Amino acid sequence: MASPVPSSLSVAFDFTGRHVFVAGGSSGINLGIARAFARQGARVSIASRSGERIAAALALLREDGDRIDAEGYACDVRDYDGVDAALAAAHERFGEIDVVVSGAAGNFVAPALGMSSKGFRTVVDIDLIGTFNVLRAAHARLRKPGAVAINISAPQASNPTAYQAHVCAAKAGVDMLTRVLAIEWGSDGVRVNAIVPGPIDDTEGVRRLAPGDDARAAMAASVPLGRFGSVADVAHMALMLASPLCGFVTGAVVPVDGGSMLRGGRDLGAAVGARVGA
């Protein structure tokens, strides 16, 4: 089960013929991850709620050349049967899955007293239950040993952040699920890790959490590296975690955040607090 040391880095990052399934893959960071794997030769399945967004994402992926092999499946990660059907169809089309990425997420900014029980549950359903559903349904279709699961977490999992009670609770669950499944699935040769993207430019998350030039500038200035990250920064970590270079890495929750988590989550709370009038 030990991974051989690759003879060169280009071999380590060659995913030719590998099947990568990305839940939430029609936009943002997840689409960037799908694109990075496709460019490295992988066959890519993306799943998302909206057929329209899937079609746009597939068109973008195919801009990278005729040899890009990509397919899309409409499902809501909150619905286990729908997720299971999407994974079954993807398995039928491209074969056993080598890498499964669980990245579907929902968010809105509101104080706990400004969200209903349903509002809180909606985000927990998408982020935490959705991740369980995707990995639970994927397990039977993974190429074992050697398959890799990558969950997309968030800084809110470890930084208590005002006006983000739902996301903090859900993503803390995602981190713990990552660690538990790493233990349970280690004997199958399946590695389970998570990436924690910090403020990544050109994403729905940053648009929601830092709307407007002032909020954007404050957010960028709060990052020790002094800038927003890029979707490529996160995609490169996904390639790294899926590669044999990380063959002994499991249960890891890896920040890709320019050091921003070192500063905690209170700044975001203060910034959005003014906006929600709390």
Among 3, 40, 50, 122, indicate the residue that binds ligand COA (CB under 6 A): 122
Q: What is the distance between the alpha carbons of residues 36 and 33, in angstroms, rounded to a whole number?
A: 5
Q: What is the distance between the alpha carbons of residues 144 and 140, in angstroms, rounded to a whole number?
A: 9
195: nearest Cα among 135, 161, 227, 238: 238
Of residues 190-209, which lie at the interface with ligand COA (CB under 6 A)? Answer: 204-205, 208
Nearer to ligand COA, 94 or 228 (CB): 228
Using CB under 6 A, which of the segments 39-47, 102-110, 231-239, 260-268 binds ligand COA? 102-110
Among 108, 145, 251, 252, indicate the residue that binds ligand COA (CB under 6 A): 108
42: nearest Cα among 101, 103, 2: 101
Q: What is the distance between the alpha carbons of residues 147 and 86, in angstroms, rounded to a whole number?
A: 18
Nearer to ligand COA, 41 or 119 (CB): 119
210 binds ligand COA (CB under 6 A): no
Nearer to ligand COA, 208 or 275 (CB): 208
User: H or E segment at 80?
Assistant: helix 80-94
Residue 240 CB, shortest distance to ligand COA, in Å, is 22
Residue 29 CB, shortest distance to ligand COA, in Å, is 9
Among 36, 47, 100, 110, indicate the residue that binds ligand COA (CB under 6 A): 110
Using CB under 6 A, which of the segments 34-42, 90-98, 114-122, 254-262 binds ligand COA? 114-122
Residue 30 CB, shortest distance to ligand COA, in Å, is 10
151: nearest Cα among 44, 79, 253, 245: 253
Q: DSSP labels for 210-251? A: S-SHHHHHHHHHTSTTSS-B-HHHHHHHHHHHHSGGGTT--S
User: H or E segment at 99?
Assistant: strand 99-102
Among 6, 41, 95, 114, indicate the residue that binds ligand COA (CB under 6 A): 114
